[in-house]
């Protein structure tokens, strides 16, 4: 069908979800403008951390950046999904479950963002632009956005046919349309860090860790203690990513962010507690890590609606999720791909139909995945669930341990029909 109109989309949010939407919409033939409050593209990330990409996400990224080797060079394979238990007193560990057909790849957030960003025209990005408000007159009347240019304090108005809200789990746009939808604190936070050992890969710290966790370099480790757990895996360029989930009262959000820097005293207290729970080889990695930080873990009840007129929510703005199902980034990438294909199918002149189809495809999937991720987090953290006793890795049965595996995630290997050809050919 010949399209009579080329649509213009304004994407609010220049993180991985927003950049992925830009790729998908450009591929669909849309004009795209991305607004991001950060002053410039990230060249590194002091609080950046690792993420896992599933096979479909890998194929989507390859199709957007145009060369398979670029993603492979920027990631390391995670072929094993392993859950083990550690006895904090005896400092001994044993395997609970092991899946050797995992087929994920690990990336550093900043590396993946740079890969996606560098494959787009820089002219489509407006850095240092803070979203203020929006005005819409109906489905076919377009949308107007006001934003503040942070460098000058000037307010500018930007018009488009579609607003894509990719402004994260604290989305200010979601609050406009779903004011009663509140974030749900999980009951625990995560200490996170990335240890760069590129200058000292044969050090006692690294060789000791590799002995304690012999499958590092190809394995996603979940190490479970009593009512706590750690995640550990290697990133490209000799970096080790670790995450330690600690139960505590909900901290106060600072600077509109779910991550926060910490004091030296807080770090020292954390390390003392780690010595009580984890193997000394892992604690040494935590001690050697520069600038660990705290990530407050939230999700929310999955919304039934993610579009209104010519506005649509994607990624963490649509479905904040806990990280235990390795879903957040993968859901954002697939949101972008499905949105792009729906817009390409229906065209700008049938925007409502495109967004309605997008919602009908994604909401049933993301709803189940958010709730399953929540359940996985509560199991691994040893928290109570309504239908089962709290998980104790020291006494868990084989059947209980089977719930720990990522392959149990709903729609784990599902490819939506609307993007199947794209995934198959890429």
Q: CA-CA distance, 281 to 234, in Å (whole number)?
A: 15
Residue 149, sorted as left (phi over 0), alpha (psi -120 to 50) or beta, turns out to be beta
pLDDT for 88-124, tens place per residue?
999 999 999 999 999 999 999 999 999 999 999 999 9
* CB distance 211 to 317 below 8 Å: no
Helices (H) and strands (E) in the chain, counts: 12, 20
- The enclosing H or E element of 342 equals helix 328-346
- Dihedral sign for Cα atoms in the order 65, 66, 67, 68: positive
DSSP letter assigned to residue 385: B
- CATH 3.30.9.60 occupies which residues in the chain? 72-108+184-298
Find where tokens 């009593």 sit: 226
β-strand 143-149 against 228-235: which pairing, if any? unpaired
Residue 392: per-residue pLDDT: 95
β-strand 162-165 against 8-12: which pairing, if any? parallel
SS3 of 417, please? helix
Three-state secondary structure string covering 180-196: CCCCEEEEEEEEEEEEE
Residue 331: per-residue pLDDT: 97
Q: What are phi and psi of 345, to 5 degrees?
A: -65, -45
Q: What is the b/e burial string over 310-348, where b = at least 16 CB atoms within 10 angstroms of the residue's CB? A: bbbbbbbbbbbbbbbbbbbbbbbbbbbbbbbbbbbebbb
pLDDT for 52-84, tens place per residue?
999 999 999 999 999 889 999 999 999 999 999
Residue 191: per-residue pLDDT: 96
SS3 of 338, please? helix
Residue 142: per-residue pLDDT: 87
pLDDT for 137-179, tens place per residue?
655 678 999 999 999 999 999 999 999 999 999 999 999 999 9
Q: CA-CA distance, 392 to 383, in Å (whole number)?
A: 9
Q: What string of pLDDT tens digits covers the 426 residues of the chain?
A: 445 678 999 999 999 999 999 999 999 999 999 999 999 888 765 556 899 999 999 999 999 999 889 999 999 999 999 999 999 999 999 999 999 999 999 999 999 999 999 999 999 999 999 999 998 765 567 899 999 999 999 999 999 999 999 999 999 999 999 999 999 999 999 999 999 999 988 899 999 999 999 999 999 999 999 999 999 999 999 999 999 999 999 988 776 788 888 899 999 999 999 999 999 999 999 999 999 999 999 999 999 999 999 999 999 999 999 999 999 999 999 999 999 999 999 999 999 999 999 999 999 999 999 999 999 999 999 999 999 889 999 999 999 999 999 999 999 999 999 998 665 554
pTM of the shown model: 0.95
CATH number belonging to the domain at 8-45+111-182+300-425, selected among 1.10.357.10, 2.30.42.10, 3.40.50.720, 3.50.50.60: 3.50.50.60
- CATH 3.50.50.60 occupies which residues in the chain? 8-45+111-182+300-425
SS3 of 23, please? helix
Calculate the CA 395 to chain-centre distance: 32
DSSP track, 305-337:
--EETTEEE-GGGT----GGGS-HHHHHHHHHH
Q: What is the CATH number of domain 72-108+184-298?
A: 3.30.9.60
Q: CA-CA distance, 166 to 173, in Å (whole number)?
A: 9
Find where tokens 């951390």 sit: 49
């Amino acid at each position: 069908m010949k399209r009579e109109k080329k649509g213009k989309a304004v994407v609010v949010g220049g993180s991985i979800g927003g950049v992925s939407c830009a790729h998908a919409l450009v591929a669909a033939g849309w004009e795209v403008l991305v607004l991001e409050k950060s002053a410039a593209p990230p060249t590194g990330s002091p609080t950046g951390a690792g993420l896992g990409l599933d096979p479909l996400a890998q194929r989507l990224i390859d199709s957007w950046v145009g060369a398979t080797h670029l993603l492979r060079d920027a990631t390391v394979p995670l072929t094993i999904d392993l859950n083990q238990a550690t006895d904090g007193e005896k400092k001994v560990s044993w395997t609970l479950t092991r899946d050797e057909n995992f087929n994920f790849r690990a990336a550093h957030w900043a590396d993946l963002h740079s890969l996606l960003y560098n494959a787009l025209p820089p002219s489509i990005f407006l850095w240092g632009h803070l979203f203020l408000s929006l005005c819409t007159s109906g489905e076919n009347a377009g949308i107007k956005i006001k934003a503040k240019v942070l460098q000058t304090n000037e307010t500018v108005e930007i018009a488009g046919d579609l607003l894509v809200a990719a402004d994260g789990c604290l989305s200010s746009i979601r609050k406009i349309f779903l004011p009663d939808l509140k974030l749900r604190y999980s009951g625990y936070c995560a200490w996170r860090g990335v240890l760069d050992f590129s200058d000292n890969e044969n050090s006692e710290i690294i060789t000791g860790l590799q002995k304690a966790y012999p499958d590092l370099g190809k394995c996603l480790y979940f190490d479970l203690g009593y009512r706590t757990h750690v995640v550990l895996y290697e990133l490209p360029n000799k970096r080790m990513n670790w995450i330690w989930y600690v139960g505590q009262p909900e901290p106060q959000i600072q600077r509109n962010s779910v991550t926060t820097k910490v004091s030296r005293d807080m770090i020292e207290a954390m390390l003392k507690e780690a010595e009580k729970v984890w193997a000394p080889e892992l604690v040494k990695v935590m001690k050697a890590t520069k600038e660990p930080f705290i990530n407050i873990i939230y999700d929310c009840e999955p919304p039934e609606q993610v579009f209104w007129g010519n506005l649509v929510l994607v990624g963490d703005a649509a479905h904040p999720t806990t990280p235990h199902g390795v879903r957040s980034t993968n859901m954002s990438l697939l949101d972008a791909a499905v949105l792009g294909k729906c817009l390409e199918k229906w065209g700008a002149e049938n925007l409502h139909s495109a967004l309605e189809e997008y919602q009908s495809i994604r909401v049933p999937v993301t709803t189940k995945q958010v709730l399953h991720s929540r359940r996985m987090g509560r199991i691994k953290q040893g928290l109570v669930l309504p239908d089962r006793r709290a998980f104790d890795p020291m006494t868990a049965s084989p059947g209980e341990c089977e719930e720990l595996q990522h392959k149990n995630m709903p729609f784990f290997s599902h490819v939506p029909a609307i993007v199947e050809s794209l995934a198959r050919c890429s």
